[in-house]
Amino acid sequence: MRIAYLDCFSGISGDMFLGALVDAGLSPDLLEQTVAALNVGARLEISRVMRGGIAATKVDVLVHGEKDLPREEFWAQQKQNDAHTREHTHRHAEHSHVHSHEHHARGLREIREIIRAADITESSKKAAIAIFEALGQAEAEIHNTTPDAVHFHEVGSVDAMVDIVCAAVGSEALGVDEWVCSPLNVGSGTVKCMHGILPVPAPATVKLLAGAPVYSAGPPVELVTPTGAAIVKTLVTRFGALPPVKMDMAGYGAGSRDFHDLPNLLRITIGEQIPSKEIPAQQVTSHDVLDAPNGVSNDRVAVLEANLDDLTPQVLAYAMERLLKEGALDVFSTPVQMKKNRPGALLTVLTKPADAERLTKVVFAETTTLGVRRRDETRQLLIRRWETVETSWGPVRIKVANMNGTVSNYAPEYEDCRRIATENHVPLKNVLQEAMRVYVEKSSR
């Protein structure tokens, strides 16, 4: 398994993420092609800079020839522009529509259309839209509205769209199977934004990092931006220390400021996961090997529920299958007794928070429910890995879970065993037993 580790000792932003990807070996041409595919009047400027004595890559987005600014400088400039616009509008009220700030006030629907029209892979489009939907959900909760009603004054500008789409394309191009993240240094102090001066971390960042380990150190500035937080929320599956990997590349992405005591950098480390049995015994600890106390990691999931009392079993089964194909982490139904003693089913969907709104629409489309409940919860996961064993009928993947540095559970992948049983006309139970036997023999060598 190929793992990428985000070391956020100085926070994370969209441009820092892109810089780290390029510094780790991502082709700058790919990012430039991605920007051109968006067709939003932007281009990239990629340079080498020094931060705290360390060489790093800096990626800037130029929109119509102008470089993107840090948030405080951007909103100071916007305040001046808005004052000029109001004065001009007062004098020429009949032409005031000409001066709308569409370049930084796009809605989620418009952003989706721009991304879907771009000549990039479907998986990259899906990841980029998921990042924006995570931002939309956070902003909607803050402003007591719906994601589609949110106008992305803070992140819907062209430079942020470029950051997010390039992040999706770049992360896919590096062939990473799992993203792991350190605790995040969010900074401190205050930040100037559209709604005035707010404490760091900003409200949207707080929403996006719910359940993630954070701390504050260094200069009193914003270190984790909403865009950076949305990238983490969407891509990262677990938090903790650097897991054991055979490192083959690393890169540093630079932020705009150059601090005196803290290198303003994001580091990405990429390598192949090392199975625990290959690590020398004197180096094995639960912290090093399992990347979480006792081999248990935490993440956030959204739980969607709907009570159904007028749906046929065939339609319910189809709805569950489609939800899984659309990316749900798990789907199950529970028999329940509903009002007037009618038998029914409780449909439960576990999903990443960024996918919750999209899967809610699937529930409404495929079932007869008039309401879907949602809650966000923290779940604990055993660290898992895949191993492959060779049976007499072919290869079977084995899912292996670790706890306290030792294997606690293992099981053959059902779909592999079902395919083999079907193709070879043998009982499924025989394939499962054979895969287990081969794995146990292999592990005991």
Supply the CATH number for residue 439's domain.
3.10.20.300
Among 302, 324, 320, 306, CA closest to 379: 302
Domain ranges, residue 390: 382-443
Are 155 and 72 part of one and the same domain?
yes
Q: pTM for the complete prediction?
A: 0.60
Are 26 and 16 part of one and the same domain?
yes
The answer to whether the CB of 256 falls within 8 A of the CB of 159 is: no
**CA angle at 204 for the pair 142 and 108, rounded to the nearest 5°:** 80
Are 369 and 400 part of one and the same domain?
no
> How many C-beta atoms surround the C-beta of residue 419 within 10 A?
15
The answer to whether the CB of 240 falls within 8 A of the CB of 291 is: yes
Are 374 and 393 part of one and the same domain?
no
Are 37 and 106 part of one and the same domain?
yes
Are 9 and 45 part of one and the same domain?
yes
Overall domain count for the chain: 3
The three-state secondary structure class of 152 is coil
Helical ranges in 270-344 per DSSP H:
286-290, 313-325
In whole angstroms, what is the distance from residue 413 CA to residue 425 CA? 18
Among 152, 297, 294, 195, CA closest to 239: 297
- Give the DSSP per-residue string, 379-439: EEEEEEEEEEEEETTEEEEEEEEEETTEEEEEEE-HHHHHHHHHHHT--HHHHHHHHHHHH
Instruction: List, in order, residues 6 or more apart from 25 with CB less than 8 Å away.
Output: 174, 249, 251
State which amino acid sits at residue 273: Q
Are 115 and 222 part of one and the same domain?
yes
Are 52 and 20 part of one and the same domain?
yes
| 285 belongs to a structural domain | no
Are 317 and 197 part of one and the same domain?
no
Are 361 and 263 part of one and the same domain?
no
Are 323 and 368 part of one and the same domain?
yes
SS3 content of the chain, % helix, strand, coil (to 5): 45, 30, 25
- Digit-by-digit pLDDT tens for the chain (445 residues) are 899 999 999 999 999 999 999 999 999 999 999 999 999 889 999 999 999 999 999 999 998 777 765 555 554 555 555 544 444 444 333 333 333 333 446 788 889 999 999 999 999 999 999 998 998 888 888 888 887 777 665 444 788 889 999 999 999 999 998 999 999 999 999 888 766 788 999 999 999 999 899 999 889 999 999 999 999 999 998 888 888 889 999 999 999 999 988 999 999 999 998 865 554 433 333 333 334 445 566 678 899 999 999 899 999 999 999 999 998 999 999 999 988 888 999 999 999 888 899 999 999 999 999 999 999 888 877 777 788 899 999 999 998 887 766 777 889 999 999 999 999 999 999 999 999 999 998 887 7
